[in-house]
Amino acid sequence: MSKKIPYLCLPLNKNNLYTYMKKQLFLGDEAIAQAAIDAGLSGVYSYPGTPSTEITEYIQNSKAAKEKGIFSQWCANEKTAVETALGMSYAGKRTLSCMKHVGLNVAADAFMNVAMSGINGGMIIVTADDPSMHSSQNEQDNRVYGNFAMLPVFEPSNQQEAYDMIYEGYEWSEKWGYPVLFRITTRMAHSRSGVRTRETRPQNPVSVEKDAQQKYILLPVNARKRFKVLLDKQKDFLDASETSRYNQYLPIDKNSSHLKKPLQGLGNGQLGIIACGIAFNYLQENYPDGFEHPVLKICQYPLPKKQLRQMVEACDEILVLEEGYPVVEEQLKGYLGIGLKIHGRLDGTLPREGELTPDKVRKALGMEVISGYPVPEVIAQRPPALCAGCGHRDVYEALNEVVKEYKNTKIFSDIGCYTLGALPPFRAIDTCIDMGASITMARGASEAGIFPAVAVIGDSTFTHSGMTGLLDCVNAKANVLIIISDNETTGMTGGQDSAATGRIHAICKGIGVEPEHLHGIVPLKKNFEEMKQLIRNEIEYRGVSVIVPCRECIQTYARKAKKIKN
Amino acid sequence: MKTDIILAGVGGQGILSIAAVIGEAALEGELYMKQSEVHGMSQRGGDVQSHLRISDKPVASDLIPLGNADVIVSLEPMEALRYLPYLKKDGWIVTNSKPFDNIPNYPEMEQLMNEYEHLPHKVILNVEQLAKDLGAPRSGNVVLLGAASPYIGVDFSMLENGIRRIFSRKGEEIVEMNLKALRAGKDQA
């Protein structure tokens, strides 16, 4: 078979020719990580969260990153991560911060204000969104945050673009003096493909800008100036979008046998199709021999006005294919929805929720979807479950037995493996909202009259966002029992180091939990009765009690044992 | 040439190790490939799948469209059937016959086998037993890959090279054991 050139969905512009290195199989996440290393990264600051975790893990495991001295230790949460990254950028170096979509909510304070200050060394913030909620509690689309902060958003359509756009993103970030929000979704994060890498670039030296204080001290007097600078910068961002090789208007070739034509069911006008990020792949999948409509591929925001105008001049109606919320569709449609006909997730051409698939796009294009065989009725659901031998199991077994003795127990839980306590056989928890909400909701419910009000939170989630809530409880002398189920790792995302390991008792004491109501226990069968008695006693104590059942995650334990054996 | 493969199983069974070998083989063959995986919550004993697409032309979608899969390769007999809407009418199923029963309402084996009756092309084999008989009890996944090898559109020799590259750091003995498992699987197909 002949040697293949690397697949890029669009030809390289003559000005953009560069040296490609060898081709490797990379997850989207890994392509991002490798690109950052190659672009001269000095530090990555992140908190684990599916589907973003593998970016930082890749850098942690990379020999090249180690040799280059790239910092890559996990942070306590996404906010500390973005702020630490900003500190490194302030000092002139290139930096990366990665999180899942809901993580950017935690980091939002830092994110919105770094848009005011701007940056020095190149800074990219990766948000890995999870439409269809494979491993998340919502499917928010963080392109909205990009608009909100008025920052450029990059959204690659394939793994090679993910690599290239990170590599080039650092140059853009430094040229503009602003961070780039880099948006991927689950499919891009966790899909593997061949990627060619580029030559490595040295790290930046330490350097602080001359006017740094006017940029980074956001007192109103400076902030007002900085906001004007940000507003002025918008035309540069737009110009970059309009000239980006990742945004392309593909008119119909006049000589082509395909004529632009309306789609079934979408009226009679000439139809143009906008495809954002990974949606472009699904569109291509359905036109293997070439598009039959003018297509605008968008991978960089703000929206490229010039190309949009070209499309509007050539078409009467537009179909918008985008992964996540109808962000582009809403912008084009306007509030009243008068003017140009726009089809997409809002008018039911595509489902309003859930990730796109080639089949959903196919249906929207008016083509027939031919399914294989039906799923037999005997197929049973197989939900995820706590591992056999997991310490959280022992905790829930004991807790369930004790709370049976009370009529109105409510168990406020949190984000992590122990959320699986919601499913049979435990059905042990009543809530799971956001990182840290177990402790604070328990207090609120207790003050409303719920008894017993119990919080169940993991160790990593506790140091991510539970400590401040515990301080509230202590200050309010709330009548709550807080169980910090400590497995000495961040389990659900695959066993990353937990910032809490070895520190929980000291933290609780320091926050002011009374030592006689702060207990540790090993959640094992042999301690079952003792654990029950402890829970019972502390439910009966009218104040803040903390029990810390601690036993290492059996997955990380097995991995370590295997390593030692080898 | 284009092959769409669905890999199925239960979280923790190791479908991604099969994908890794095929991926290595595809790279050697200078083929284009996209492979979407499941990470995160479902890995905890839930159903998992991977879409693997290999072609001599660029692959567009990371996901296989319905009714397009040439083969479903499954480490578990019920999980193979979960993805039937993706299978081509003349597609193949290659599956382990041994159930992974971690749910209270797992169907009777007879019911599952009835469903297989209706499907035209299938290979059903007990990969754990075959691996055990070979003296390679941990190579069940590779036995399954061997059984699927005629349907996945990559040369058998490239799969062998894929095994060599992936297992090389574990020593020659492990490599040989897995090559044996691959060939034994192929003999079952």
Residues sharing a CB contact under 8 Å with residue A249, sequence separation 6 or more, in sequence order: A294, A295, A296, A307, A310, A311
pLDDT at position B38 is 81
H-helix or E-strand spanning residue B87: strand B87-96
pLDDT at position B56 is 94
Ranges A207-221, A258-272, A492-506: which has the least confidence = A258-272
Residues sharing a CB contact under 8 Å with residue A189, sequence separation 6 or more, in sequence order: A27, A28, A29, A51, A52, A54, A128
Q: Name the band, by pLDDT with cuts 50, 70 and 90, for residue A8.
A: very low
What is the C-alpha to C-alpha distance for residues A533 and A515, in angstroms, rounded to an integer?
18
Which residues of chain A does B36 touch, with a Cβ-Cβ cutoff of 8 Å? Answer: 187, 190-192
Range of the domain at A20: 3-242
pLDDT digits (tens, 9 = 90+) for A74-122: 999 999 999 999 999 999 999 999 999 999 999 999 999 999 999 999 9
What is the C-alpha to C-alpha distance for residues A351 and A358, in angstroms, rounded to an integer?
13
Instruction: Say if the Cβ atoms of B78 and A379 lie within 8 Å.
Output: yes
What is the C-alpha to C-alpha distance for residues A412 and A401, in angstroms, rounded to an integer?
17
Residue A370 domain-assigned? no
What is the C-alpha to C-alpha distance for residues A200 and A64, in angstroms, rounded to an integer?
10
What is the C-alpha to C-alpha distance for residues A353 and A82, in angstroms, rounded to an integer?
29
What is the C-alpha to C-alpha distance for residues A150 and A482, in angstroms, rounded to an integer?
40
What is the C-alpha to C-alpha distance for residues A466 and A436, in angstroms, rounded to an integer?
4
Residue A194 domain-assigned? yes
Whole-number CA gyration radius for chain B? 16
Looking at residues A276-294, what average pLDDT do you find?
95
pLDDT at position A537 is 98
pLDDT at position B14 is 85
Q: Specify the pTM.
A: 0.94
Ranges A443-457, B34-48, B75-89, B120-134: which has the least confidence = B34-48
**Phi-psi category of B6—alpha, beta or left, where left has phi over 0 and alpha has psi -120 to 50?**
beta
What is the C-alpha to C-alpha distance for residues A560 and A566, in angstroms, rounded to an integer?
10
What is the C-alpha to C-alpha distance for residues A12 and A244, in angstroms, rounded to an integer?
11
Instruction: Say if the Cβ atoms of B40 and A385 lie within 8 Å.
Output: no
Provide DSSP, A244-292.
Answer: -TTSEEEPPPTTSS----PPTTS-SS-EEEEEETTHHHHHHHH-TT--S
Domains for chain B: give ranges and CATH numbers. 2-100+108-188 (3.40.920.10)
Q: Above pLDDT 70, what percent of chain B?
A: 98
**A–B: how many Cβ contacts below 8 A?**
165
What is the C-alpha to C-alpha distance for residues A29 and A41, in angstroms, rounded to an integer?
16
Residue A379 domain-assigned? no
Last residue of a domain, one of A227, A242, A257: A242
Residues sharing a CB contact under 8 Å with residue A347, sequence separation 6 or more, in sequence order: none
> What CATH number should be reported for the domain holding residue A457?
3.40.50.970
Q: Is residue A103 domain-shared with residue A174, that is, in the same domain?
A: yes
What is the C-alpha to C-alpha distance for residues B136 and B185, in angstroms, rounded to an integer?
12
ipTM: 0.94
Question: Taking 60 as the threshold, does the pLDDT of residue B85 lie above it?
Answer: yes
Q: Is residue A438 domain-shared with residue A317, that is, in the same domain?
A: no
* B8-40 burial code (b ≥16 CB/10 A, e <16): bbbbebbbbebbbbbbbbbbbbebbbbbbbbbb
Among B47, B64, B85, select the one facing A382 at the smallest CB separation: B47
DSSP state of A382: -
Overall size of chain B counted in residues:
189
Total domain count, chain A: 3
> What CATH number should be reported for the domain holding residue A264?
3.40.50
DSSP state of A337: -
With beta carbons less than 8 A apart as the criterion, state whether A48 and A90 touch. Answer: no
Q: Is residue A426 domain-shared with residue A309, that is, in the same domain?
A: no
**Minimal C-alpha gap between B43 and chain A (Å):** 7
Q: Name the band, by pLDDT with cuts 50, 70 and 90, for residue B39.
A: confident
Q: Is residue A83 domain-shared with residue A195, that is, in the same domain?
A: yes
Q: Is residue A326 domain-shared with residue A420, that is, in the same domain?
A: no
H-helix or E-strand spanning residue B8: strand B2-10
pLDDT digits (tens, 9 = 90+) for A473-483: 999 999 999 99
Instruction: Say if the Cβ atoms of B33 and A192 lie within 8 Å.
Output: yes
Q: What is the residue-averaged pLDDT of chain A?
A: 93
Q: Is residue A434 domain-shared with residue A505, that is, in the same domain?
A: yes
Mutate to test the interface with B, among A191, A367, A377, A493 (most CBs of B within 10 A): A191
Question: Taking 70 as the threshold, does the pLDDT of residue A268 lie above it?
Answer: no
Q: Above pLDDT 70, what percent of chain A?
A: 93
Q: Is residue A329 domain-shared with residue A357, that is, in the same domain?
A: yes
pLDDT at position A15 is 36
pLDDT digits (tens, 9 = 90+) for A323-351: 999 999 999 997 787 778 999 999 999 99
Residues sharing a CB contact under 8 Å with residue B67, sequence separation 6 or more, in sequence order: A369, A370, A371, A372, B85, B86, B87, B88, B89
With beta carbons less than 8 A apart as the criterion, state whether B22 and B160 touch. Answer: no
Q: What is the residue-averaged pLDDT of chain B?
A: 94
Q: Is residue A457 domain-shared with residue A544, that is, in the same domain?
A: yes
Q: Is residue A222 domain-shared with residue A354, that is, in the same domain?
A: no
pLDDT at position A267 is 63
Instruction: Say if the Cβ atoms of A187 and B36 lie within 8 Å.
Output: yes
Q: Name the band, by pLDDT with cuts 50, 70 and 90, for residue A262.
A: low
